[in-house]
Amino acid sequence: MKRYRAAIFDLDGTLLNTLGDLCAAASAGLTAHGYPSITEEQTRLRVGNGIRNLILRSLPEDAGDSVIDACLSGFRSHYEAHLHDLTHPYEGIPALLHALRSQGVKIAVLSNKYDRAAKRLIEHFFPGLITLTLGERPGIPRKPDPTSTREVLAALGVRPEDTLYIGDSGVDMQTAKNAGLTAAGVTWGFRSREILLENGADLLADHPAQLLAHFADPARLQEGFTRCGFAFSYFETSSQAVDYLKNVCRGKTAAFGGSMTLETLGAYDALREGGTVHWHWRGDPPDTAPEVFLTSANALALTGEVVNLDGNCNRAAASMYGSDAVYFICGMNKLAPDLPSAVSRTRNIAAPRNARRLNRHTPCAADGRCHDCRSPERICRALAILLAPSSSVKHTEIVLVGETLGY
């Protein structure tokens, strides 16, 4: 998996949900001059190319420059006084930024919001986390022109190929392409997945935790897990991880917990060559006390916790009791900045995808997000959080693979 040294974030719709304050300020500027207010939905569809364009798109086509300027002045006056009344970070964003800083990633914000407001918002919500913030400035072309992006790269001292551009709009995806950067589209913002893909998104993220895998430094990952008492191994490729597990299980009895990661790795057939393997997915009889138990996790928090949701609870129980050694095999996509983010990843990414895989008729299978449902078909019946290895297990190890594996 490609790992980047720097991140350039868009602001509105990416780091912060600013829709309420933008709508209120635009409506204040418009109504002060006799024009109707606008809704948040109208605001969402009109932002992204600077505040002047938001006002222009909210006025009649024949409105002249003097009217636009007057409404824009009213917007600025209201917005300066109410900059963050309704604005708030998206869930998981502060934890992501802290995690990126801990991994040594250089972070910048590049916005089409006017520069003073962009800087004030970053200082208010993310003090000390952002290296550089640039907004709209006189004489500098707005995004998607690459001029300001190149200015950020020069200031950070990084190359385009080492930088991931992260935004929620077609303008952001075009900006990345125009500057030669990889474009990551986030789906929690103001634009749809379809618009992001149409404008050249190289990858999509449905949750901030999903971005972490593109920056995490294996050399820095071990600390959180070993501090909590877990052993830790990292392998760049699946084949290296499988070879390691073959040595671990050679001459021993091993059992598998249900895992798309282990399925993708082809671990069952590989490990049978040197030992005895039981997996209920293959119709094998259960082994309630194997020497080695192998499974995956729904999420791994950089703070050291291992998180799993389970339906029958056999997988969760076996990861805590009954074996001499337990191995959690996970791709980089399972990483999350902290425990709340790991739980959110488990409930909003892993669970819905597994529900679809199992053809369950649950709300999460339909729309891809967790609900407080009481469906008889729900698969999330136990949330297991290992704060440290079980005292009954002699050896518990995280085996991290530098690829995307499982859900």
Active-site positions? 10
Count CA within 13 A, CB hemisphere, residue 80: 9
Buried b (16+ CB within 10 A) or exposed e, 143-162: bbebebbebbbeebebebeb
- 94: nearest Cα among 400, 338, 364: 338
Cα torsion angle, 3, 191, 94, 205, sign: negative
The encoded tokens of residue 238 equal 């699946």
- 278: nearest Cα among 289, 287, 288: 287
Angle at which helix 147-156 crosses helix 170-179, to 10 degrees, equals 60
DSSP code per residue over 375-392:
-TT-S--EEEEESS--TT
Contact, 304 vs 340, CB < 8 A?
no
